[in-house]
Amino acid sequence: MKGGNMGNMMKQMQKMQKKMMAAQEELHELSFESSAGGGMVTVVANGKKEITDVQIKEDVVDPDDVEMLQDLILTATNDVIKQIDDKTNDTMGEFTKGMNMPGMF
């Protein structure tokens, strides 16, 4: 009967793998948005961590203070990437509960 258990386990693993792939595809389709400076800079990214849009309000463009604009862009970009990481960990963590698989995602 051991062979039957192994076959059943393989089917369960394949089923889980399909669910994981579907969940990952869904994550890639999502859109994430973050803004900084009270909405002066907005960064949008997809679940693949690709920046898809950057909006900068004209009021924040000051040639004498370029550093502030750079800081706002960095803040919004880092936050949107953190949102993606958090959502990915929450979603994919369902599949790895109880398993120690560092670096899998």
Between 5 and 43, the more confident residue is: 43
Whether 102 has a pLDDT exceeding 80, the answer reads no
**Per-residue pLDDT reduced to its tens digit, 22-51:** 999 999 999 999 999 999 999 999 999 999
Whether 103 has a pLDDT exceeding 70, the answer reads no
Separation between Cα atoms, residue 63 and residue 65, nearest integer Å = 6
pLDDT at 8: 86
CATH superfamily of 2-96: Nucleoid-associated protein YbaB-like domain (3.30.1310.10)
Separation between Cα atoms, residue 54 and residue 90, nearest integer Å = 26
Q: Taking the domains of the chain in order of start, what are their residue ranges?
A: 2-96
**Per-residue pLDDT reduced to its tens digit, 17-30:** 899 999 999 999 99
SS3 95: helix
